[in-house]
């Protein structure tokens, strides 16, 4: 039996763009509105799953309460940890680690930011979380509130993209995508 996942990326955060990773930024009012707008007419969902970081969790708690849906937090669906790059923008990194940033952009699986989480490990934890969700909730439709990196990873897999194209996948703040997890665990885009 398949599982439907509606993937919602958190909205704009107070400290803005850049590599937020495991930093626990709050949403701006615009970020809240982006998320509210994204779910209008969505669902119906059987439950909500959220990253525990507040930029996802606080909206998930509010939405779950208003829709009277069960909510579970999934630490394995947190963003990639960018190590020494956390909190920095690409423009800042171009000044301090241009070579590393270029290597990461060209092959995120082949280059890990200093003291960061390897994308291979990130991929393994995210995919294991999706497998657990499929095992526990096959036949349901879940709203998964998470991060750009998580969404890029899942969408790239569903689209059959080579790993070097991971960062070419667009997943803007407040964007909503649907995926189906088939009985065999394969991902495909669309509900």
Q: Is the pLDDT of residue 191 over 80?
A: no
Closest CA to 169 of 183, 153, 190: 153
Which of the residue ranges 17-21, 62-66, 69-73, 174-178 would you say has the lowest mean pLDDT? Answer: 17-21
Asked whether the bond before 44 is cis by omega within 30 degrees of 0, the reply is yes
Distance from C-alpha of 29 to C-alpha of 20, rounded to nearest angstrom: 18
Indicate the pTM of the whole model. 0.96
Mean pLDDT of 17-44: 95
Percent of the chain with pLDDT over 70: 100
Domains of the chain (ranges; CATH) run: 3-189 (3.40.50.1240)
| pLDDT tens digits for range 92-142 | 999 999 999 999 999 999 999 999 999 999 999 999 999 999 999 999 999
pLDDT value, residue 16: 76
| pLDDT tens digits for range 69-86 | 999 999 999 999 999 999
**Banded pLDDT at 17 (limits 50, 70, 90):** confident
> Please, which residues have CB within 8 angstroms of residue 52's CB and are 6 or more apart in sequence?
73, 74, 75, 78
């Amino acid at each position: 039996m398949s599982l439907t996942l509606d993937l919602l990326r958190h909205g704009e955060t107070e400290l803005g763009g850049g590599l937020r990773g495991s930093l626990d930024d709050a949403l701006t009012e615009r970020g809240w509105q982006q998320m509210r707008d994204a779910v209008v007419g969505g669902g119906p969902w059987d439950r909500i799953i959220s990253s525990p970081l507040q930029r996802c969790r606080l909206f998930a708690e509010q939405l779950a309460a208003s829709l009277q849906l069960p909510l579970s937090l999934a630490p394995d669906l947190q963003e990639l940890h960018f190590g020494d790059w956390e909190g920095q923008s690409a423009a800042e990194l171009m000044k301090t680690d241009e070579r590393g940033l270029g290597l990461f952009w060209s092959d995120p699986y082949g280059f890990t930011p200093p003291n960061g989480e390897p994308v291979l490990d990130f991929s393994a934890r995210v995919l294991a979380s999706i497998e657990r969700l499929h095992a526990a909730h096959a036949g349901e439709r879940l709203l998964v509130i998470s991060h750009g990196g998580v969404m890029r990873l899942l969408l790239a897999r569903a689209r059959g993209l080579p790993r070097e194209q991971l960062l070419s996948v667009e997943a803007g703040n407040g964007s909503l995508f649907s995926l189906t997890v088939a009985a065999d665990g394969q991902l495909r885009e669309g509900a």
